[in-house]
Amino acid sequence: MQVKWTKKFPKKEGNYWFYGYRYGKISCGQKCEPELMVVTVNKCANGLLYVDSGGQFMYESETEDAHFAPMDMPEIPKFFKSVVQHE
């Protein structure tokens, strides 16, 4: 499966892969390495809220060379269906 990466911040709720410089290429006077992490996008009263896998808010103005790709949910195995109940 080919993953489609984009440099645009996601505009829909969901989970995304993030690869880039979380706090810029230089933070607190030190060179940083790019990171790979999961970002969750949620709607809030004044737009979208981006939360990284460490629970920190992510702001477009703080990132540098950011890339995003949607995380697809895997198909649920058949043996899960006996445990998962729908109302």
Tens of pLDDT, residues 11-61: 999 999 999 999 889 888 899 999 999 999 999 998 999 999 999 999 999
Tens of pLDDT, residues 53-70: 999 999 999 999 999 999
Are 49 and 41 spatial neighbours (Cβ–Cβ below 8 Å)?
A: yes
Its domain, for residue 37, covers 14-81
Give how many domains the chain has, as a whole number. Answer: 1
Helices (H), 1-87: 78-81
Inter-CA distances, 24 with 36, 62, 86, Å: 14, 6, 44
Q: Is residue 1 a part of any domain in this protein?
A: no
Q: Is residue 65 a part of any domain in this protein?
A: yes
Task: Please indicate, yes or no, whether the overall pTM of this predicted structure exceeds 0.95.
Answer: no
